[in-house]
Amino acid sequence: MHHPIIKTMGESGYMTTGKSKVGINATLLLASGLICKVVGALFRLPLTNVLGVEGIGVFQLIMSTFSFALVLSSGGATVALSKLVASHRAKGDFVKLNACFRRAMFQAVGLATLLGVLLALCWKNISTFQHINPNKSYLLFVILLPLGAGMAVFRGYFQGQENMLPTTVSQILEQSAKFVFGLALAVVFSKQSLTSGVFGAFIGITLSEVLTVALLFVWHLRKRKRCVFYRKAKNLWATRKEYDKSNFLLTLSAISLPLANMIDSFFIVGRLQVAGLSASRATELFGVQTGIVGTMLNLPLSISVAVAAACLPNFAFLMSKGENVGSAIEKGFKLLLFFVLPTTFGLAAVAKVLYSLIYPMVTYEILLFATNLTLYSAFATVFTALMQYAIMILQAKGEFGFVAVLTAMASVVKVVLTIFLAGFSFVNVYALAIGNLVFSGIVCVVALAKLKQSFNFKISFWQMGNLLVATLLMYVSASAFLRVGSLVPMLALIGAVLIGVFVYFFAVAPFAIKTLFPLFHKKETQNV
């Protein structure tokens, strides 16, 4: 029997006959990623003021469980489906293409539904285990998890078609709707109690997911109407097995950190009580670390995601031609550190003034604690950015199994260390920052060592030293300005930022002239 064929009309998105849209696609994903990071931060900042420090702690405890369940059900679906859809589309085998799509949707949504029902049935037990009042937000997981899983599958399907527009638009819609509905309902419900306020926020998140999945579903139907499928096909078992293998390995890679964070959320409040804190105080400090500091330091990580998204097409292009990508890896590494180091430690330098402006309701004690925690967490943020970049290259090379084992081992070390250290009064919630640093540090060092074995690239100690000295001078100058200045907070913040930027770029000039400027030379960008 001949292969099933497909007829297309217009720009169906199912076939690629023209030039690759890699540059446009990377730009779309980069722009949407940056926008979503900013909107996500804007959501959590006022949410903290609405719910209070303890309330945002409860929110983050529940969110850690949701994140793990979502990654477990659909963590590898987007990447696995995107790769397989692109492969089958290139061969013109659209029956197998759609078989992968149906397999992914059935598995992801089915598992997400089962997990949602299980968590909803155990919502009181989970709340008790986390040392918080019973929260009905877990009941919404029955709807939230299948919606999130379906969203991941749709995005992977469209990305495999080299159509990034649905992903871009849906991400922005999701974050914007979450900001509007989540914040508004949190304000309304918080008038009853802290627990109700958290529940209201999750209702808003559920509404945002409904709107986003509806958009993707309609988009999918619109594309399908332009095509005529001949559905007869035999022996698709190998195709389903191919998807299962890819999805399994990618899910293992993606699940390690969310699982570790969920385990932390189950034990951290209890361990902090062992350290001498009350349950309420422990929840507050957890909220400071994950809701305030974590939200702020997520902004530098958007840079690592952006650099990875921009470099991936170039790496894939060079690898497909059998060329050495060592030079490209080295350039991306330098570009990443050039922006991540000053952004991360710049935020740490102005954290106290910045938090006082954003969270005017928090006590001075909490403000001081958040400021110190930001500085300690900044080191973990830099290693996390490098880790994301290194993992991206390994996955582009197809090292899914290696990444899965590495992240799993690092997660075990993180969980054990965090739970152990949190029980000491002189460490308490700083154990979370230490655990994150150890996790990202282990993965980063081992992943870079693995890359050094496969690719020919080098890291100049002189250049790294120049970046570190420039960052240190920037941090010291911005901090000193804030300490000796007597301006109102807003003017002091602006002045510190301007001085920090000037000092950094002046100190890093030798590195920028010799390293970064050649990146934009025509000879260096022909393959991008």
Residue 226: predicted pLDDT: 45
Contact predicate 150/109, CB 8 Å: yes
Domain ranges (residues) in the chain? 19-233
Does the pLDDT at position 228 exceed 60? no
- Over residues 45-81, the pLDDT tens digits come to 788 888 888 888 889 889 888 988 998 888 777 777 7
Nearest to 261 by CA among 133, 50, 72: 72
What gap in Å lies between CA 267 and CA 61, rounded to an integer?
10
Burial 288-308 (b: 16+ CB within 10 A, else e): bbbbbbbbbbbbbbbbbbbbb
Alpha-carbon span 74 to 77, nearest angstrom: 5
* pLDDT per residue as tens digits for the range 168-181: 888 889 989 999 99
- Residue 293 CA to residue 284 CA, distance in Å, equals 12
Distance CA(176)–CA(166), nearest Å, equals 15
Q: What is the mean pLDDT of the chain?
A: 81
Query: In this structure, what token pair is assigned to residue 503?
Result: 């000092």
DSSP-derived 3-state class of residue 500: helix
State the pTM of this model.
Answer: 0.73
Closest C-alpha to 158, from 33, 24, 25: 25
Q: Using one digit for the tens of pLDDT, what is the confidence trace for 6-29?
A: 343 333 344 443 344 545 655 666
